[in-house]
Every structure is written in structure tokens, then in C-alpha cells.
Amino acid sequence: MDCFVGISGCEYAFESILHGQDGKMVIKYDDNGNIVEKYYETEPISGNDVYLTIDIDIQITAEDALKSSIDGIDSANAGAITAIDPNTGAVLAIASYPTYDLTQYSNEEYYNSLLEDENTPMLNRALQGVYAPGSTYKIGVSLAALELGDVNTETQCTCTGRYDALHRPSCNGVHGAVDIYTAIQESCNIFFYSIGERLSIEPITQFTQKLGLGAKTGIELSERVGTVAGPEFRKENKLEAWAQGDDLSAAIGQADHGYTPLQLSVYMSSIVNGGTRYSAHILDSVRHFYTKDIISSYEVSVADRVSFTSENHRILIDSMGRVVSENNEVKRYFKNVGVSVGGKTGTAEVNGQEDNALFCGFAQLEAPKIVVTCIIEEGVHGYYASEPAAKVMEKYFEKYK
């Protein structure tokens, strides 16, 4: 029996549930080739229905908002967005751009054009796209530094626009006296270079990996695990040895760090919910094909726990609140969300290209309900990636007042 089998994505992941069981038909002919008898030796059984956690309204908003932002930036052609519930790991929306028309998928000419497209429309960037996290990584660095006692709210450094040691890397501005709140709000590199130099990257990645960066998210679909920057990765892959200067770039989310948009959402969720890393999932329930009765429901699962103090949790929430409320380039996009929003922008360097734009945020500040990550390849400014995220949050709070 010929069946259409999903080759990727949900149909593939849930094939065994959706498929049911083929029947076996017996057909008997007479000497002239006429059918004289036809019956099922085994009756076919319908597959069950799979219900997903995807919220169709949020999904449509995410797809439209992502496309519209990418279309508005000259150098940008691709990106991804994910929205999850930070208290369960349920995926509410997941979109990648460019995408393709599933109804034309079996047309050979169309399929070949997808293969040849340099913007790789068949790549699901939300799960398979691996990106430097840029400054979105600074939240994990802050948490590690606070918990390890390397910084506290009294810690200050002076930003003159350049770091005064090693290869003297630069900042994105001249920020003067900077503490952890302003370092996060202004995304001051100097503050984070100094953490990187003092701690080196390994104690930091121990935290960020437990939070979800460089770990499987748990989603039922095929995903990449990414790359945790550090001496170990270099050694394993026979690359240039890790140098002290690399600790500095790694502390601002560059060097070899590479993570997927969904991983960033899981990481941010683990931070804002107070330290629980929930497995990401899109399976909500399996229901009977005819009656729609629930046969089984997904049970929320904890992948890991990271313990940190409520004081340090508060510092991060407040600082990320300031990123949105105190920076005009970011703030303008969130004015219609209706609740307080926190987050972190990132502008990540990519060799030979315009910078990638990232935003990873949550709402509301007290008791977050949604975490949204957006990445726009060659999106130039981090805050451009906050626009689609804002639209998704706006839709969410309009729907679930």
C-alpha cells in the first residue's frame, strides 16, 4: 500500500501515531480476469490525531511579523522566530523564513528550485540554524558571575570605549562608570570582557549549558545541538588553541558559540522562571481519530535545574526590564504589548556579512508567560529583531488577557 509519509517535521516525528495500521485486502479473480470476491483479511485501523501546542493565532502572527521585518531590511533575507511558555516548555509558535509551499512540494521543478535557492528555504532555521548569540549571551554570563561571587551590585568598571588589556577589544560606545544594571542595559562589552578575563569561559559555559545552550531542547523534531565555545571544542576539532583573548570574545557571545533560536528561548525561560529547564515540546495530546477523546497528554518534563539566589534572579529581571523600557530603539516596538517586557538584544558579527540581529525577551516581568526569540540574518541592528517579537507578545496578551 502506498502511503504519503511525512519526510520531515511533524508528520515524520509523529508518524507512528498518525499512521495507524494498513489493512490487507484479498481479491479473487475468475479465469476471465473478473473480480469474483473481495474482502479484508485484516481491517485497516485509522491512526490517531496528534494535537500540537502551537497556537495558530500566535503562529500566523509570528510568520507574518518575521517576513515583514525581513522585507524591511535591505541586507536581510532570512531569519527565525520561536515563542514558548517558560513554565512548561510548550512551543506556541515556531517559524523560519524563507519557507516553501507544501502543496507544491512534489512538483519536481519546484523542489529543485528550493534545493538551488541560496537562501536555503528548506532549512528550518528555528531548529537547525546555529547562530552566535551575541549580547543575548551576556545574561548567562551575568548570572554565572553573580553566582560565583565575581560581581555584585557594587561592582563597577569604567568604559572608555576600549578594553585596557590583551588585544584591547572595543566597546559599542563609551559608557563611563558601569555597574551590572547599566552593563546589561547598554550592553557594555567592557564589563563583560573583564568577567571573561577573570573567570575564563569554562565556569560560564557550565552555567549556560545547564540553562539550555548547547543542549538538546527536547523537542520532538530534528534539531541541532550547537557549539559550546571553549578550549575543549577547539581541541576536539583540532582547531587553533584557545587563547586568553578568546575568553573575552566568548564572554560577549562571540568566539565559537553557536546556538539555535529555540535553544535561546529555552535558556531565557530557564533564567526568567527561576532556574528550571523544561524540555521543549510541540506534542500536546493524542486523541481518538473519530471521537476526539484524549488518549494521552504530554506530561511536562524537567530537563535540568540551575540553582541561583532570588536576589540574583531579581537583578537580571530588572536589568532586562531596563533594556526594553530605557532604550528608545527597543521601547518603541513594545508600546502596544500592554504588560511590562524584559529582554536582551544582540548584534552578532559574522565574517564577510552584515551583522545578525537577535532579540530574546519575555513578558511580563512579574510571572512571565511567554518567551520569544527572533533572529534576522544580516539584520544589522539587534533592535530590529525585537519588532517581530513585540508583535508576537502583543498578539499573545490580546488573546489571553
Footprint of Zn ion on this chain (CB under 5 A)?
A: 159, 171, 175, 188, 190
Min separation Cβ 156 and Zn ion, Å: 12
Three-class SS state of 329: helix
Min separation Cβ 173 and Zn ion, Å: 6
Comparing CB distances to Zn ion, the nearer of 355 and 394 is 355
Min separation Cβ 158 and Zn ion, Å: 9
Comparing CB distances to Zn ion, the nearer of 185 and 205 is 185
- The residue type of 328 is N
Min separation Cβ 163 and Zn ion, Å: 9
Q: Are 269 and 278 in contact (CB under 8 A)?
A: yes
Q: Are 9 and 124 in contact (CB under 8 A)?
A: yes
Comparing CB distances to Zn ion, the nearer of 143 and 159 is 159
Comparing CB distances to Zn ion, the nearer of 175 and 344 is 175
Grid coordinates of 222? 530534528
- 333 DSSP assignment: G
CA atoms within 13 A on the CB side of 176: 0
Rounded CA-CA distance 104/74 in Å is 28
C-alpha Rg value of the chain to the nearest Å? 24
Comparing CB distances to Zn ion, the nearer of 96 and 249 is 249
Comparing CB distances to Zn ion, the nearer of 188 and 282 is 188
Min separation Cβ 254 and Zn ion, Å: 15
Rounded CA-CA distance 95/222 in Å is 15
Min separation Cβ 177 and Zn ion, Å: 10
Min separation Cβ 172 and Zn ion, Å: 7
Rounded CA-CA distance 374/380 in Å is 13
Comparing CB distances to Zn ion, the nearer of 67 and 162 is 162
Comparing CB distances to Zn ion, the nearer of 227 and 327 is 327
Min separation Cβ 175 and Zn ion, Å: 4
Rounded CA-CA distance 325/309 in Å is 24
Rounded CA-CA distance 105/115 in Å is 11
- Torsion, Cα 47 49 52 57, to 10 degrees, reads 130
Q: Are 370 and 363 in contact (CB under 8 A)?
A: yes
Comparing CB distances to Zn ion, the nearer of 92 and 159 is 159
CA atoms within 13 A on the CB side of 290: 3
What is the sign of the dihedral through the CA atoms of 369, 143, 136 and 232?
Answer: negative
Min separation Cβ 165 and Zn ion, Å: 15
Rounded CA-CA distance 368/86 in Å is 7
Interacting residues of 120 by C-beta distance below 8 A, sequence separation 6+:
78
Min separation Cβ 134 and Zn ion, Å: 15
Comparing CB distances to Zn ion, the nearer of 166 and 365 is 166
- Torsion, Cα 265 270 276 280, to 10 degrees, reads 10
Rounded CA-CA distance 162/170 in Å is 4
